[in-house]
Amino acid sequence: MVPEDQIERAAEAIVRARYPIALTGAGMSVESGIPPFRGPGGLWTKYGEPPMNGFQIFMSNPRKGWEDRIKPRYEELWGPLRAAKPNPGHYALAELEKIGALRFLITQNVDDLHRQAGSQALAEIHGNFKLIRCLECNARFPEKEISLEVLPPACPRCKGLLKSDTVSFGEPIPTDVMRQCADHSARADLVIVAGTSATVYPAAGFALEVKERGGRLIEVNLYESEITTICDHSLRGTSAETLPKLAKAVSQRRKESLS
Ligand SMILES: [Zn+2]
């Protein structure tokens, strides 16, 4: 449980910030029942690590890449993702956006849960497992809109090569997503870092850049992480428990300042 006064001080920082953004990672997914990739019970521990050059393998034979993707084994891998529901932490971030206290959200998660919770100003830096992306024009399509009768499928807009939106190892982050993240983090003066140790680049770089410019960092994490020492506020708790309290405190302060 995070002490009340720590929540209040962090809420005050958010209310005072000109352009608060958030960065979220796997910890939030785990709290929604999605197994982590690595470690005991991890998906990759069970099924094997994906190859580090997965993107190059896909590009060398996209048809085989698609054939592999629609195998039943893959469905078992994505099953927990399909079954997962947003937790109170996801809803709290969507609420902060709605009341104007959060301008943008960068997530490393591919599970679609921030969208399901209602976040709209959102960049999914590693993609979204429910979407298919065109490697030529970057258009995204829901899976069900793409016919898999002929593999590999072609983009309905430009006939370019389609791939799952999730970013493979060895694949560059899509340029449109990178641009959005760079634009918003350049304006940000506060970052809420939730459920991530913020050590995975490029996402971590956006938070560190804001700090270097004199911005503030609020960490919401059960455990100390490598960025704890540079955080202005370290809220030691789960996202599902801590973010709703934070959102409530922010909402309360904004109401008081308006009345
Ligand atoms: Zn296209």
Report CA(78)–ligand 1 centroid distance (Å).
Answer: 25
Beta-bridge partner residues of 219: 193, 234
Q: Is 57 helix (H, G, I), strand (E, B) or coil?
A: helix
Ligand 1 midpoint to CA 159 (Å): 6
Query: How far apart (Å, rounded) are the C-alpha atoms in residues 103 and 86?
Result: 20
pLDDT band at 74 (very low <50, low <70, confident <90, very high): low
Rounded to the nearest angstrom, the distance between the alpha carbon of 152 and the centre of ligand 1 is 13
Q: What is the pLDDT of residues 123-177, one digit of tens each?
A: 999 999 999 999 999 999 999 999 999 999 999 999 999 999 999 999 999 999 9
Summarised one tens digit per residue, pLDDT across range 215-234 is: 999 999 998 888 899 999 99
Does the pLDDT of residue 68 top 90, yes or no? no
Query: Catalytic: which of 90, 114, 126, 184?
Result: 126
What average pLDDT does the chain have? Answer: 93
Model pTM score: 0.94
First-to-last alpha carbon distance for the chain, in angstroms, is 31
Instruction: State residue 201's pLDDT score.
Output: 80
Look at residue 244 and give its three-state secondary structure.
helix
233 catalytic, yes or no? no
| Residue 147 Cα to ligand 1 middle (Å) | 15
